[in-house]
Chains A and B, each alone.
Chain A
Amino acid sequence: MTDTSTRALAAQATRATTTRPRWRRALVSIAYFVIPIAVVIGIWQLVTMLNPPAPFFPQPFAIIANLWDLMFGSPKAVQQVFYGEFLQTVGRMALGFAIGAVWGVVVGTIMGLWRGARETINPIVEFLRSIPATATLPLFIILLGGGNDMRVVFIAYGVSWFVLINTSVGVGSVHKTLLDVGKVFRISLARRLFRIVLPGAMPKIFAGLRIASTAALLLAIVSEFMLATDGVGYMLVQAQGRFQLLNMWSWMLALAILGLIINTLLEWIEGRILGWHRQSKSRA
């Protein structure tokens, strides 16, 4: 799916270059992004301002201001909140994501390269990945306790399936002739792996990584909801317990921003690394 959408974007871009100057094109696409968001926030702000105060829906500007206070400006807990909670969540997620991604790529490559291995492991993989990852959280808690390690392992476990499946499909779809050429020229296995197999599978692997990154945030939050002493998810549950709706909205906004940042970051990396792939596709 990501594949088709990127192709469409490339096509759109080429179409636009031929008709309009560059700066206008950039301006238009920024406007298409900013205006709808501004309209939605504006309507929300107006409705909450004109209506008698709705306890569950604070004003959007108040939420933003409050988040700013919570993270940077509040004289009470400046350092603690930002470094403590926000970075805790991010750190956990990043570590779990990294471990899960490496594991997924390694196992996925093995599965993609050797049919015997693939056919043997496949039913197990298909079954394990069908278990909703969050449902396994109680098992992780029983097995590993409620500490930080448990959370990282849990995130890594949940994330690895997306990467594993996509890597295995990507590696499996590398053309056999290419592999044979590598063999005929007696290129070492390691070089074949890093020069032929993995670059060929890269678009698929990145599609997996992007889904995995969204999943990593979700799993981090769920694990903080269930059992934690810090992190944004924990702060959210705390605010819920005290009926602090403004704080809840602020932490929700923080999570939304985090999700957006992660997504944008991966898209940017993908664009840098896979630029060649997109170009070759749009030319074809």
Chain B
Amino acid sequence: MTTTAAPRQTRRSPRVGAIWRGVAGVAGLAIILEIVSRSGIVDQKYLPPFSSVIVRAFTLWGDETFRADVGATLLTYLLGLLISIVIAVPLGALFGLFNPVYRAARALIELMRPIPPVALIPLVLLMLGNGLEMKLVIVVFAAVWPIMFNTLYGVHDVDPLAKDMARSFGIRGFGVIRRIVVPSAAPFIITGIRISSSIALIVVITVELIAGGAQGIGAFISREKGSYVDVGETYLSVLAATIMAGIIGLAINLLIGWVERRYFGWESTARDGV
């Protein structure tokens, strides 16, 4: 609160303070969990000590099947997102350019968007089995709408004056799209991709968890949960794998956030939204 009045030099200190507070918060939580578990307030079976969960998370990396599972999840996620972009961006751009089509497409997308993608799992599972294709179909169904909606909106929202000006400078047809429409819609598209990215990761892991059998982090968790060798051990592995899923999610979020700020930071939409 006092920093606003403070001289320029001390501006840096709030950031350092924020980092220290964050570290203190994480460390405090870790210590509390450790104490609660070790002292036996809560049964160690249900709340293993924080340190042993971390150790297990690291030893999991030594496990080849777990690495393969992580690879499978990441591959499905990337492919799914890529396919969604390839489908949604051109279609969204096409629909966004013409007003009646834009309104009709918006109505359809608004209708499709709230449909929970996981409801498709049983049907697609029957049709395609529990391999990569099944996962991809559901991930694409989930990830395609935010990108399409944002592209549609971004393309529709292009300043008509800018388009007219480009035309009066003698730029025709596709040139207008390339020089005016695409650059001004890009921040919207990126926001859509960011939203879809987190949805895609959630859906990949959910599908793996429910459909089982197939490879992936979700499948790993579901296999571990199913193998009732020893409750404590099982629980530890499930917990560690869940934490690994969180780390992957965090890394992806940070990466996309960074790309968005670095390359598309001029637009305010980059900061809005989820």
Which residues of A are at the interface with B, using a C-beta cutoff of 8 A? 1-5, 8, 29, 32-33, 35-37, 40, 56, 116, 119-124, 126-128, 130-139, 141-143, 162, 165-166, 207-208, 211, 214, 217-218, 221-222, 225-226, 233, 236-237, 239-240, 243, 245, 248-249, 251-252, 255-256, 259-260, 262-263
Contact bitstring B239-254, A, C-beta under 8 A = 1, else 0: 1011101110110010
Closest residue on chain A to residue B104 by CB atoms: A36
Complex-state Cα separation, A226 to B125, whole angstroms: 15
**B153 and A214 contact, CB distance less than 8 A:** no
Complex-state Cα separation, A37 to B103, whole angstroms: 12
Among A56, A142, A237, which residue has the most Cβ atoms of chain B within 10 A?
A142
Known: A119-B18, A123-B25, A226-B210. A143 touches B246 (CB 8 A): no
**B250 and A32 contact, CB distance less than 8 A:** no
Does B139 reach chain A (CB closer than 8 Å)?
no
**A120 and B24 contact, CB distance less than 8 A:** yes
Residues on B with C-beta less than 8 A from A130 are 246-247, 249-250, 253
Complex-state Cα separation, A61 to B24, whole angstroms: 60
**B272 and A1 contact, CB distance less than 8 A:** yes
Residues on B with C-beta less than 8 A from A3 are 272-273
Complex-state Cα separation, A221 to B118, whole angstroms: 7
Residues on B with C-beta less than 8 A from A122 are 18, 22, 25
**A5 and B119 contact, CB distance less than 8 A:** no
Does B161 reach chain A (CB closer than 8 Å)?
no
Residues on B with C-beta less than 8 A from A221 are 116, 118-119
Closest residue on chain B to residue A262 by CB atoms: B114
Complex-state Cα separation, A217 to B153, whole angstroms: 26
Closest residue on chain B to residue A1 by CB atoms: B273
**B18 and A4 contact, CB distance less than 8 A:** no
**B116 and A131 contact, CB distance less than 8 A:** no
Complex-state Cα separation, A259 to B238, whole angstroms: 31
Label chain A's interface by main secondary structure.
Answer: helix
Does B108 reach chain A (CB closer than 8 Å)?
yes
15 contacts between A and B (CB under 8 A): A1-B269, A4-B269, A4-B272, A32-B103, A33-B107, A37-B107, A120-B25, A131-B245, A133-B202, A162-B274, A207-B274, A225-B118, A226-B210, A248-B126, A260-B111
Residues on A with C-beta less than 8 A from B17 are 119
Residues on A with C-beta less than 8 A from B22 are 119-120, 122-123
CB distance from A96 to the nearest CB of B (A): 15
**B120 and A252 contact, CB distance less than 8 A:** yes
CB distance from B22 to the nearest CB of A (A): 4
**B153 and A5 contact, CB distance less than 8 A:** yes
Known: A36-B108, A124-B25, A252-B119. A134 touches B209 (CB 8 A): yes
Does B29 reach chain A (CB closer than 8 Å)?
yes
Does B222 reach chain A (CB closer than 8 Å)?
yes
Complex-state Cα separation, A252 to B108, whole angstroms: 17
Does B229 reach chain A (CB closer than 8 Å)?
no
Residues on B with C-beta less than 8 A from A165 are 274
Complex-state Cα separation, A141 to B194, whole angstroms: 30
**A142 and B238 contact, CB distance less than 8 A:** yes
Known: A56-B123, A119-B21, A143-B46. A132 touches B107 (CB 8 A): no
**A139 and B238 contact, CB distance less than 8 A:** yes
Complex-state Cα separation, A1 to B206, whole angstroms: 25
Question: Which of A2, A237, A251 lies in contact with B273, CB distance below 8 A?
Answer: A2
**B272 and A138 contact, CB distance less than 8 A:** no
The 8 closest A-B pairs by CB, nearest first: A131-B246, A130-B249, A259-B114, A240-B122, A120-B25, A130-B250, A119-B21, A1-B273
Complex-state Cα separation, A75 to B125, whole angstroms: 31
Q: Which of B26-41 contact A (CB under 8 A)?
A: 26, 28-29
Complex-state Cα separation, A131 to B250, whole angstroms: 8
CB distance from B113 to the nearest CB of A (A): 8
Residues on A with C-beta less than 8 A from B120 are 252
Residues on A with C-beta less than 8 A from B91 are none
Does B218 reach chain A (CB closer than 8 Å)?
yes
Does B221 reach chain A (CB closer than 8 Å)?
yes
Residues on B with C-beta less than 8 A from A207 are 273-274
Among B192, B202, B225, B253, which residue has the most Cβ atoms of chain A within 10 A?
B202
Residues on B with C-beta less than 8 A from A133 are 202
**B218 and A135 contact, CB distance less than 8 A:** yes
